Amino acid sequence: MITIEMPLVYQIGIAIAFIAIIIAFSAILREKDDIHKLIIIDLIEITGLVVVALIATDLAEALILPGLVVGVAEIMAVSELWLAKEKLQQKHSAKKFDIEVMKTAPPIIGLLLAAYGIFLTGFSGGLIAALGLMIFFLGKNMGEHFAKIENAAGYAWALWVIAFFIFMLFPSQWFLAIMLAAVGIMLKVMAKMSLVGTMRGGE
């Protein structure tokens, strides 16, 4: 059995993460297409989270999960724009099966998961609520405008910032700050991940 000392593994991980970041930055300098640049920037964000994870501090734990979810959702959204630009979407609509359970089950399951996620709050709550919305959207072939979802993500970010300032300036109100941060994270994760369920190749 081969054993590797943790400091060596740590150094190798840091080196690989920084090499990936350098490669990604060099790709931005060489890339001409704007959409490709956006995708590369999101990849840099994820590799940056790897570096943060290797630091292994309390701040790292607070940043990794929300940052990773938001980063992956942004990559998928920008990739969808690239597919639309390159006209690589499916042009022929697939055959639709008229199954009753697909009409009734997604709203019920989605509502239950969303309610449970809101009850949990925080990152876990946002993820569960987002899963409920994903099931709802995937079960309904619908083309809607989702500006309200993006607005919710913006308000969630504002809640997060407000919670930070309350915690720093008014430490006695730490419980209020924690609850605001938990709700903000939940809304942010829920808004970003629910967009995955709407990606059906439409305009």
First to last CA, the chain: 55
193 pLDDT more than 70: no
CA-CA distances (angstroms) from residue 8 to 20, 53, 115, 165? 18, 16, 45, 38
| Contact between residue 37 and residue 31 where contact means Cβ atoms under 8 Å apart | yes
Q: What tens digit of pLDDT does each residue of 25-78 get?
A: 888 888 887 777 777 877 777 777 777 777 766 656 666 666 666 677 677 777
Residue 167, number of CB atoms within 10 A of its CB: 16
How far is Cα 34 from Cα 23, in angstroms, rounded to an integer? 18
Across the chain, what does the average pLDDT equal? 70
Burial classification of residue 2, based on how many CB atoms lie within 10 Å of its CB (0-12 exposed, 13-18 middle, 19 or more buried)? exposed
Instruction: Please state, in angstroms and rounded to a whole number, the distance separating the CA atoms of residues 161 and 177.
Output: 10
Coil, helix or strand at residue 118: helix
Rounded to an integer, what distance in angstroms lies between the CA atom of residue 12 and that of residue 7? 9
Question: pLDDT category, 189, cuts 50, 70, 90?
Answer: low
Please state the rounded mean pLDDT for residues 119-132: 69
